[in-house]
Amino acid sequence: MLHTGAVDAGQESRPAAGAGGPRSAVVVNPVKVADLDELRGTVTDALAAAGWPEPLWYETTVEDPGRGQTEQAVEAGVEVVFACGGDGTVMSCVRGLVGTDVALAVLPQGTGNLLAANLGLSTDLAAGIEVAVERGRRLLDVGAVEDHYFTVMAGMGFDAQMLAATSETTKARIGWPAYVVGAVRHLRDRPMRVSIRLDDQQPLRRRARSVLVANVGRLQGGLTLLTEAEPDDGYLDVAVLTPRTLRHWLALGWAVLRRQDRVPRMEVFRCRRVEITSNRAQPRELDGDLIAPGRTLKAEIRRRALWLCVPQPERARDLTVDVDAAAERGEQLIEEARRE
């Protein structure tokens, strides 16, 4: 039997579990999963071992990559939605959860998984389950672009070019390093002329290769680009990248690898909303997923809009704290479920 539980709507509250464990749903992209039956058995058994009812299951489609299924789950009264897929699946689930009291848990199955990288979850199914079961919750900001949302980063220019140039086949074969291959193809492309308006300030004009609008600061492969970006501080961090030569790119990359406070050829600004206008149409992306090219990218912060299941301790600045231990506990939970 499934049970429902009341949710405390107080500003500092978190979604509460009902008797017998919270109701949950899994929104899964079947294309990203090698064995759907095995996944379903593992998740269902692990949750049962933790005292949770059997979750509802929804499969995404080409026509609806996750938002509609997530909204159905919310209407059904669940308290946690597991997003099981790549960045596109996670982003679609976020769109269905923003502004609700239902928490998002990430079960990463794709190759990019920007949000998972910022959680430190990689592709660890056990950690994803355990993090949800332990009920660490954090109320995060999200960025809004048109009728879309992003939890990690939006971008215009080089970063989106890199994504567009990276084949699904290469990603499936070698994982996130495939993006390096896509990046090399566009290192020598000409910069774009952009006007950047931060809040109500006068526009800044730059010749940039990429403009990134970030809610958190970690990139693919675990690299931290924006050390001051926090997911619940009420601000967006805007990074303007202006390398023009291969030497500039190498200096920028080396500084990021060494986690230096100052990165050459990169300016960083903070704001609550930003409007970026280019002299020509540019590729654009949200959380590692391409959207239609355009000359403008308008983003604004939506404060405290998304409950997210996070590793403990839940107030740590770095969301990856305790994730290794959570993975170990998750493996133990799965083993216990298999013995029963």
pLDDT of residue 155: 96
The CA–CA distances, whole Å, from 45 to 196, 242, 328, 331 equal 50, 50, 17, 12
Is 60's pLDDT higher than 80?
yes
Listed in sequence order, the residues at least 6 apart from 255 whose beta carbon sits closer than 8 Å to its beta carbon are 262, 263, 264
**Helix (H), strand (E) at residue 204:** strand 204-208
- At 138-152, the pLDDT tens digits run 899 999 998 899 998
Confidence label for 1 from pLDDT (cuts 50, 70 and 90): very low
Domains of the chain by residue range: 24-136+310-339, 148-303
Q: Are strands 103-108 and 80-85 parallel, antiparallel or unpaired?
A: parallel
Which CATH number is 24-136+310-339's, of 3.40.50.10330, 2.70.150.10, 3.40.50.970, 3.40.190.10? 3.40.50.10330
Q: How many residues does the chain have?
A: 340
- At 171-182, the pLDDT tens digits run 667 666 776 777
Asked if the peptide bond before residue 313 counts as cis, ω within 30 degrees of 0, the response is yes
Q: Do domains 24-136+310-339 and 148-303 have the same CATH topology?
A: no
Is 201's pLDDT higher than 90?
yes
Q: CB–CB of 162/186 below 8 Å?
A: yes
Mean pLDDT of the region 306-324? 71
At 200, list the tokens. Answer: 């109500």
At 267, list the tokens. Answer: 């300016």
The pTM of this model reads 0.81
For domain 148-303, give the CATH number. Answer: 2.60.200.40
Of the candidate ranges 1-10, 38-47, 108-117, 166-175, the one whose mean pLDDT is the lowest:
1-10
Look up tokens 């794709």; give the residue.
110
Question: What are the start-end ranges of the H helices in the chain?
Answer: 36-49, 67-75, 87-97, 114-119, 125-133, 158-164, 168-174, 178-184, 246-257, 323-339
